[in-house]
Structure 1
Amino acid sequence: MLSHRKGAAADSRSGFRWRQGAGAGLRGRLQGTAGKRIAWLPTLAARRQDALRTEHLRFVREAPRGGVLHCFVLDCSGSMLGGQRLALAKGLLIALFDRASAARAEAALVCFGGAGATLRFGPAVPRWWNERWLGPVGGGGGTPLASGVREAAQVLARSARRKPAQQRWLWILSDGRSGDQPARPRHADEVVFVDFEREAIRLGRCRALADAWGAALLTPDELIA
């Protein structure tokens, strides 16, 4: 999962490292002409369900001098308990926090479910992050997405005041089983929705909100691979 192998390519915008060999053919052709590295997360978001084409490609920008904050918003509602979705989301978070720690990036975790949302960690550079810490985070109740986004917006706003030059990423891990339509937090430089919806008949609310916000949209499988 989200391998740490030495051959992985670094994405300086996100502070994360991506698996070696992903899109190697396209990358090789383009590096030979423009000398730029592909930023795979925005590229996958632009591709959506289409075959990868040149116009989908997005490139790595210069690393931000003020550092990076990754604010993760985890849906802990009852619907995430079905199909082990919450367990999968926790596994992804462990890997993402490990990457933030290795890159010396700050991270924060907001959990929402039931009646509201809670800031569970950060913002801080993670010193350690493992399954024992995340295991007690339970699920159940409704999906107060607006509360989760509002709590994350406050985290991002405080970060913007404390470190104006910092680049701020907002990650929302949810199945979108909510009727809430919150506004995009204005201090989020980049937004990524990780869509856990797997029902045969899909509501598509994560996709709709990602479109409205101009955000990236990935499935858990795309993020892992």
Structure 2
Amino acid sequence: MRIHWTQTLAAKGSQPFAPSHLRWRAQQAHAGVLHCFVLDCSASMLHGRQLALAKGVLLRLLQRAYQARAEVALVCFAAGRAEVRLQPARARPWSEAWIRPIAGGGGTPLSLGMARAGQLLAHAARRRPAQQRWLWLLSDGRSTEQPPRPPWADAVMVVDFERQAVALGRCRQLARGWEGEYLVADALMG
């Protein structure tokens, strides 16, 4: 089974997301799912230990992907570059030791991160056209860039880690602009 996003979003309406809104549909056994995680490692994510929280959320999402026998990929972006830390591959059990070395600092090249994720998703679409491709952006939304939604993403989840005193709300804006789901990081840890 996989989430039927159109029906789920219709059930959610303007209410805050709740598990009762989820609607399911049967998944083709041969198609599978690729979860492409895009992690903001910029200096602003170091404020209030947001990057540490993001790593915890990432570990939880990787574990869920492993349990669902999905594929995963990871792109990290900061300091003027976007780096593929994990090429698309079958999820496996992850430990904190693997994710701890991911460091933060520098600017927030959101467009570069999205472009690199878009390349991974396009390659995955050519390799396995029937596969569902989910894009997960984990960010505090402190970038002023408004890149387009990667066209090969079937579903987009924007996970907001913003904890600054003056909230900009850019993650919510991105989710809305990309016709994706907006999630608050703390809700995924509960």
When normalised by structure 1's length, the TM-score is 0.76
Could you tell me how far apart the structure 1 residues matched to 2:101 and 2:146 are?
Answer: 29
Letter in 2 for 1:167: Q
1:98–1:137 distance in 2 versus 1, CA, 3 Å:
same
What is the aligned partner in structure 2 of residue 223 from structure 1? 188
- The alignment's C-alpha RMSD in Å is 2.3
Q: Distance in 2 between matches of 1:141 and 1:45?
A: 40
Say which of 142, 159, 166 aligns to 2:124.
159
Identical-residue share of aligned pairs (%): 53
Q: Which amino acid aligns with 2:164?
A: E
Give the alignment of 1:55-134 within 5 angstroms.
57-65=21-29, 66-134=31-99
1:177 maps to which residue?
A: 142
In structure 1, the gaps of 5 or more residues are 1-11, 15-37
1:51-110 CA distances to partner (integer Å, 9 max, x unpaired)?
679xx9341122144000000000000000011110011011111111111211000000
Instruction: Structure 2: give runs of 5+ residues left out of the alignment.
Output: none
Query: C-alpha distance in 2, partners of 1:70/1:155?
Result: 11
Out of 148-157 and 201-210, give the one that drifted further: 201-210
Task: Tell me which residue corresponds to 1:207.
Answer: 172
2:112 aligns with one of 127, 147, 158: 147
Q: Partner of 1:176: helix, strand, or coil?
A: coil
Cα distance 1:176–1:101, how it changes in 2: closer, same or farther (>3 A)? same
- AA of the residue aligned to 2:123: R
Q: Is the 8 A contact 1:64 1:167 kept in 2?
A: no
Question: Which letter does structure 2 place at the counterpart of 1:61?
Answer: R
Across the two proteins, how many residue pairs are aligned to each other? 186
Contact 1:114 1:140 survives alignment (8 Å): yes
Q: Which stretch of the first structure deviates more once superposed, 58-67 or 119-128? A: 58-67
